[in-house]
Structure 1
Amino acid sequence: MHKEIPVTGVEIVPGNITSSMKLVKFEPMFDQKEKSWLMWAVAIGSIIATFPFNVAYAHYGARVVFFSAGMMSAIATLLIPLCINLGLGYFLVARVVQVC
């Protein structure tokens, strides 16, 4: 993912660039450390979800457990764009829930 940053200080030469063009450059949204945390969130979510889902599977059966896990993952996936705009902490929580 990248974020758009407007380019300033660009000299517009007539004939080369029209005034309707929007000049932007793209920078990575997250640095390497933040990307690492996002990958770790997947592993942590998997570890956290293993034991409760095993107990729920034994108690309620596969249908309820898989439906609830699928709904949690779907809702977290739908909220990812909002969480990215809110900040890295929200995005990390959404990634953990997404894996469950």
Structure 2
Amino acid sequence: GMLHHLKFPDAAPAHAAMRIETGVRAGDAISPFYDPMIAKLVVHGKDRAAALAALRKALAETEVAGSTVNTAFLAALAADADFAAGDVDTGLIGRHQDEL
């Protein structure tokens, strides 16, 4: 769909580093014939907990209108206790699907 509005966080949260990789801007159309990932948000922190806190904040500050996005799912995943503990495997999402 058309990206009517697209805004990423201006700066990394305190005690974290953040990088946003994107090749689109508001007004661009996302074609169904190519990879629909519009951006990659990479966050680093002093430890996993700090990085996840910074990621949740950055996702909350990300605004996208006009296309379906998964920022709410990613924020819920970043808040999941098993994910936060690093107890991650290929079945994590399936086991927690109702909460995510």
Is the TM-score greater than 0.5? no
Higher strand share: 2
Relative to total residues, which structure has the larger helix share, 1 or 2?
1
TM-score by length of structure 2 reads 0.24
Compare CA radii of gyration and give the structure with the larger one: 1
